[in-house]
Amino acid sequence: MTSRTAPVILTGDRPTGPMHLGHFVGSLRNRVAYQNEFRQYIMIADAQALTDNMDDTGKVSRHVIEVALDYLAVGIDPKKSTIFIQSQVPELAELAFYYLNLVSVARLERNPTVKEEIRQRGFERDIPAGFLTYPASQAADITAFKASLVPVGEDQIPMIEQSNEIVRHFNRIAEREVLVEAKALVPPLGRLPGIDGKAKMSKSLKNVIHLNANPDEICAAVKKIYTDPLHLRIEDPGHLEGNVAFIYLDAFDPDPVGLAELKAYYVRGGLADSVVKARLETCLQDVLAPIRSRRQQFEKARGEVLQCLKEGTDQAREIAARTVAEVKSALGLTYF
């Protein structure tokens, strides 16, 4: 069990669909390692997911347990990591309410991450208020557990910076260090591109390989993977840059020496894309088979999985309630 004095790390996911290889590389496998080093809180961010899914709330609630199943299947241990459901910790909403008084609408609109996500969703000026104010909500999620580390992609760094602005503003008002600033922990390997070569693996773009994909689905997906459009003949020199097959091999091949030789061969010319894809398929089948097997076992015990979520959520509420009490005391909101 991780020491209770270890640094606190907060991480999580929106439950809006099945998890895929991009999640695995970007966060899930790191969390398995983090749980042995940090006090880790993993949030299933169902309330936050509603900010742009109010037209299909069932999609969010259905996927809460699916996300939990994926967490357990990849090796996240609820005895080491506290897994909890955001909507069941009302203290987070209370903190967000207070923090909204510490940030202006103009500052929220200037947040680069928020601006980009508004553009991607086509909101223009018809922005759900909950979506616009998400940085305050995220600050509540982080500070409730006094997390000092938050694993994020580079595109999410502005969110951590704005959370820290709220922390500093609050501490100035309190005239003492009540809340803790967090550091963005950016994984060395960023997002995986989609199998079509697009910059991001995304469920909406249908360019993913799901963690619960069966062997035939993995095989079919690998055949579609984008390689080098200039590699028209086997004898032609190949290019590695932007070649999704090799990007995936960098992430999953357990033999770096053999992979380096394969790359050199491909660049020289004389190596077919089909050979590269065959090696990649073997790697992915080896990675996903045990995950799929464990997930199937957990699916047979959904009641136990729900109990695990309840216990984690109860633990999270205890921690968050202590922070709320400190915040209210600092604001002079203690009367009884």
Closest CA to 297 of 212, 234, 215: 212
CB 272 within 8 A of CB 262: no
Shared domain for 180 and 265, answered yes or no, is no
pLDDT at 192 over 70: yes
Secondary structure letter of residue 20 according to DSSP: B
Closest CA to 8 of 179, 145, 138: 145
Shared domain for 98 and 156, answered yes or no, is yes
Structure pTM? 0.91
Shared domain for 49 and 169, answered yes or no, is yes
Our CA angle for 294, 298, 304, nearest 5°, is 150
Q: What is the pLDDT of residues 285-312, one digit of tens each?
A: 999 999 999 999 999 999 999 999 999 9
Shared domain for 187 and 255, answered yes or no, is no
The answer to whether residue 200 sits within a structural domain is no
Shared domain for 35 and 170, answered yes or no, is yes
Shared domain for 145 and 263, answered yes or no, is no
The answer to whether residue 1 sits within a structural domain is no
Q: pLDDT band at residue 190, thresholds of 50, 70 and 90?
A: low
pLDDT at 191 over 80: no
Please report, for the domain that includes residue 124, its CATH number.
Answer: 3.40.50.620
Question: Highest-confidence range of 42-56, 75-89, 107-121, by mean pLDDT?
Answer: 75-89
Shared domain for 276 and 310, answered yes or no, is no
The answer to whether residue 2 sits within a structural domain is no
Q: pLDDT band at residue 131, thresholds of 50, 70 and 90?
A: confident
Lowest mean pLDDT among 2-11, 19-28, 65-74, 323-332: 2-11
Token pair listed for 302:
């959904």
Secondary structure letter of residue 16 according to DSSP: S
Shared domain for 241 and 326, answered yes or no, is no
Shared domain for 219 and 308, answered yes or no, is no
pLDDT at 5 over 70: no
Q: What single letter denotes the amino acid at residue 22?
A: G
What's the confidence (pLDDT) of residue 258?
Answer: 97
Shared domain for 94 and 111, answered yes or no, is yes
pLDDT at 126 over 80: yes
Q: Classify the phi-psi angles of 81: left when phi > 0, otherwise alpha if psi is within -120 to 50, otherwise beta.
A: beta
Number of structural domains in the chain: 2
Q: Across the chain, where does the E strand assignment appear?
A: 8-13, 39-44, 81-85, 149-151, 183-185
The answer to whether residue 201 sits within a structural domain is no
Using CA atoms, how far apart are residues 222 and 280, in angstroms rounded to an integer? Answer: 8
The answer to whether residue 43 sits within a structural domain is yes
Q: Which residue has the higher pLDDT, 26 or 217?
A: 217
What's the confidence (pLDDT) of residue 117?
Answer: 83
The answer to whether residue 56 sits within a structural domain is yes
Q: Classify the phi-psi angles of 11: left when phi > 0, otherwise alpha if psi is within -120 to 50, otherwise beta.
A: beta
Using CA atoms, how far apart are residues 45 and 276, in angstroms rounded to an integer? Answer: 38
The answer to whether residue 255 sits within a structural domain is yes
**Domain that residue 175 falls in:** 8-192+302-330
User: CA quadruple 310, 73, 198, 223: dihedral positive or negative?
Assistant: negative
Using CA atoms, how far apart are residues 13 and 44, in angstroms rounded to an integer? Answer: 5
User: CA quadruple 116, 113, 138, 133: dihedral positive or negative?
Assistant: negative
Whole-number mean pLDDT of the chain?
A: 93
The answer to whether residue 203 sits within a structural domain is no
Mean pLDDT of 12-37: 91
Please report, for the domain that includes residue 234, its CATH number.
Answer: 1.10.240.10
Q: What is the pLDDT of residues 174-186, one digit of tens each?
A: 999 999 999 999 8
Shared domain for 133 and 44, answered yes or no, is yes
Shared domain for 220 and 286, answered yes or no, is yes
What's the confidence (pLDDT) of residue 171?
Answer: 98
